[in-house]
Amino acid sequence: MLDKEEAEELKRCVRAMYNPTNSGVIHILEEVIDRETGYSEVQEALEESVKLQSHYAKLLNDYDGGKRLSFDSSHDWIKRLRQLKKEIGCGG
């Protein structure tokens, strides 16, 4: 699986290989790259959301001594979500 930077480099190559008048072909190939790499705008938004949540969890823990969880990445957050689903028995 490609990471975000590798996917973007592949897209740049696709754009360089095809004439801009073939925008439909370029668009389709870019969608395939995104699908095959597992990267999308939704993934990027989730990454940013997890960063923000983790930042506030740390701030609140410092403030009141709480034990809120923070996560290094959306992958860690998803792993925890799956674990919780198994613990409470609601799929996953």
Label residue 11 by pLDDT band (50, 70, 90).
Answer: confident
As for how many domains the chain has, the answer is 2
Pair 28, 52 in one domain = no
Rg (CA), the chain: 19
Which tens digits make up the pLDDT trace of 18-32?
Answer: 777 778 887 888 888
Domain that holds residue 14: 4-39
Q: Supply the pTM of this predicted model.
A: 0.54
Are 53 and 80 members of one domain? yes
Position 65 pLDDT exceeds 90: yes
Q: Are residues 54 and 67 in the same domain?
A: yes
Same structural domain for residues 61 and 30? no
Q: Is 37 left (phi over 0), alpha (psi -120 to 50) or beta?
A: alpha
Write out pLDDT tens, residues 73-87: 888 888 888 888 888
Within this chain, do residues 82 and 48 fall inside the same structural domain, yes or no?
yes
The set of residues, in sequence order, having a beta carbon less than 8 Å from that of 36 and lying 6+ positions away, is 1, 2
Residues 22 and 35 in one domain: yes
Query: Are 84 and 47 in the same domain?
Result: yes
